[in-house]
Structure 1
């Protein structure tokens, strides 16, 4: 057993672009460029 777990697909949020999936949360950017 390697200890690695597959990360689930990120949630698609209207108006936001998924940037990164971390251990605790996903990071998104809106159309204005804000995180």
Structure 2
């Protein structure tokens, strides 16, 4: 295990959240187009 600086951890977590949000939004958009 290696220690991660809080700033880097926050950046990684925020980037992961953004990726999840963009993926879910794109999925919902495609779902709307299908219906």
TM-score normalised by L of structure 1 = 0.22
Which is strand-richer, 1 or 2? Answer: 1
Bigger share in helix: 2
**Using CA pairs below 8 Å that are at least 6 residues apart, which structure has the higher relative contact order?**
1
TM-score by length of 2: 0.22
